[in-house]
Amino acid sequence: MISFIALIFFAFGLIIGSFLNVVIIRYHTERSFGGRSACMSCQNTLSWHELIPLFSFVALGGRCKTCQVKISFQYPLVELITGIIFAFLFLKFQNIFFFYTFSFVTIYAYYAVIFSLLIVISTYDLKHKIIPDTLSLIFGLLAFVGLFIFDRSGLHLHLLSLWDFLAGPLLALPFAAIWFLSRGTWMGLGDAKLALGLGWLLGFSQALSGVVLAFWSGAVIGLVLIAFTKKYGMKSEIPFAPFLVLGATIAFLFELHLFPGL
Instruction: Give yes or no for a contact between 202 and 214, defined as CB atoms under 8 angstroms apart.
Output: no
Instruction: Give yes or no for a contact between 103 and 155, defined as CB atoms under 8 angstroms apart.
Output: yes
Q: Which amino acid makes up residue 258?
A: L
Q: Residue 255: left (phi > 0), alpha (psi -120 to 50), or beta? A: left
Helix (H, G, I), strand (E, B) or coil at 67: coil
pTM of the model: 0.91
The band of 234, judged by pLDDT with boundaries at 50, 70 and 90, is: low
Model confidence pLDDT, tens digit, residues 127-170: 989 999 999 999 999 999 998 887 655 555 556 777 888 999 99
- Can you tell me the distance from the alpha carbon of 261 to that of 256, in angstroms, rounded to the nearest whole number? 13
Residues with Cβ within 8 Å of residue 30, at least 6 apart in sequence = none
Q: Residue 28: left (phi > 0), alpha (psi -120 to 50), or beta? A: left
